[in-house]
Structures are given as structure tokens and as C-alpha cells.
Amino acid sequence: MRTQPTLLVVASHNKNKIREIKDLVADLSFKVVSIEELGDFPDIEEDGATFKENARKKALETAQHVHQLVLADDSGLEVDALNGAPGVYSARFAGEPTSDERNNQKLLALLEGVEPDKRGAQFRCVMALADPSGRVEYAEGICRGSIGFTSQGENGFGYDPLFLVPEYGKTFAQLGPELKNKISHRGRAMEQMKKILQAYEKSLNSC
């Protein structure tokens, strides 16, 4: 039986995202660390056409660098009135250097004059779990909502202050982290991924 927790490396430099993932897997026996905690590794260019392509690339290449189990995700906002944009370009929607404030301002400008019932949107998250052998497994989560007219709330990050969750009448940024983690795209993807991690954990413990 294994007594030491298995290392789970999160292939991200986003401290908010890493914190969310740590909270979501707190009931498992993995020791979650960020890529930065293991050393100075080259950035991986996210040049895929889909969230799945980007997540796969980050997970596989990072697993090859660190020789550990790696979890990567790619996520973003898909706005109905913008034909699914910003999508995979969510983080850099307003250009480089990336800025949540400028991204939100651009989104509001593009939706100026759009009626409330036409402002539907969804957050999508695709997670990829890769081991050094090249095996990859996936999970996906979606959270539907709409885009508000002004920023509301102090919690969260990215587009959270604009993303209204209809069943609560609040933005992601107005919800506490515990509730957001339960209903968010990342939370829903992680619920699927946790089943994969539990199976992986069980196989290791049986060795």
C-alpha cells in the first residue's frame, strides 16, 4: 500500500485557477502543486482551435517535462450574440498584455444595445489528465448564464463580474467560492475528473 500522497501537477500559472482546483480535490489524497513549484519550465503555447486541443497539449507536454501526473484545463466564455466568441481567446480577448478589466470592457462594448434576452452565454471548461506514458483522459463542464450590463461583485476573476447565473440572480463574482465551485463549469468538469482521479488513486493503492 502507498502511504505518500500522489503528486498532481496543475499545468497553470493562474493562482486563482490553482486555488479552485485545490479546493475541488481537497477530499482526495493527491498533493496538488503548481508547475511553478517544480521549477522553471518553458511556457506552452496555447495554439489549439478548441479548448480540448489546448488542454491536451498543456497536459501532455507538461507531463513530459515533470514526469508526473498532470492536470490541465482550458476554459473560456462563449457568448451567443458573438457566435461563441471570445471562446479560446477569452484570456487575451482585448490583446496583450492580458487584462481582465480590458476584456470585460471590450465585451460590454460589443454587446452595447443587445437586449437582456439576447445576452445568453456559457462558460465551458475542458480538463485533460495526462501521465508520463502519454495516456490522456478528459472531462468537460458547462455553465449557462447571461452577460450583465455592468460589473457586479468582488469575488472571482476573469469575466465573473459580468456572468449572471439565472437561478441565483447573481454574478459569479457575487457568489461565494464554495457555491461557485459547485455550479461552475470548472466545478462540473472536476466532478467528472474526480471519478477518473479516484480510479487512478485506487489503482495506485492496489499496487
Task: Tell me if 171 sits within 8 A of 123, measured CB to CB.
Answer: no
Is 74 a known active-site residue?
A: yes
Catalytic residue among 74, 80, 100, 160: 74
The strand pairing partners of 164, in sequence order, are 146, 171
**Dihedral through CA 56, CA 58, CA 59, CA 62, nearest 10?**
150
* Cα four-point dihedral sign 81, 85, 91, 95: negative
The Cα–Cα gap between 139 and 186 comes to: 10
CB-based contacts of 164, cutoff 8 Å, min separation 6: 145, 146, 147, 148, 170, 171
Report, as residue numbers or ranges, the catalytic residues. Answer: 74
